[in-house]
Amino acid sequence: MTLLDAKPPKPKNGIGKYIPLPLLIIIIAAIVGLVTYSLWNYPEQRAVSRFLTTLERSDYQKAYKLWQPAPSYQFSDFMHDWGPEGDYGRIRTFEILSAKSKGATTVLVYVSINREEPPLGILVDRKSKGLAYSFY
């Protein structure tokens, strides 16, 4: 069999007719990467959202448990910070603005509370979902 005797190639069908396979693989990998990157800190954002929603409902005992405080941070301290007479007053609205990973174990979530400036940074532990004030 010589080169002139070879069978002609089969015509491409489907998406392969328009986009070469390596390019299609790169596009799919890029989409998966972008989705993964955008949702990477979602569980920590959800923990902050759950905490602030609990404060909106004025369920301070449950919010104190969600905060997962150190033994030195008593409920009276929590009420001073987050209660109706706290820095933000009664929580009426909040919006999660962004989240940034800080090392392998911590995420910094920026939140606008009652539309006040500047946004508050809340640290979230990836493993326990415990919350703390940001020192960043």
The pLDDT tens digits for 28-52 are 999 999 998 888 999 999 999 999 9
The count of other CB atoms within 10 Å of the CB of residue 13 is: 7
Strands 120-125 and 94-102: unpaired
CA-based max dimension of the chain: 91
Contact 129, 44 (CB under 8 A): yes
DSSP secondary-structure letter at 99? E
pLDDT band at 1 (very low <50, low <70, confident <90, very high): low
- Rounded-to-integer distance, Cα 87 and Cα 66, Å: 19
The pLDDT tens digits for 67-126 are 999 999 999 999 999 999 988 889 999 999 999 998 889 999 999 999 999 999 999 999
pLDDT band at 13 (very low <50, low <70, confident <90, very high): confident
Higher pLDDT residue, 14 or 26? Answer: 26
Which residue ranges form the domains of the chain, and what is each CATH number?
38-133 (3.10.450)
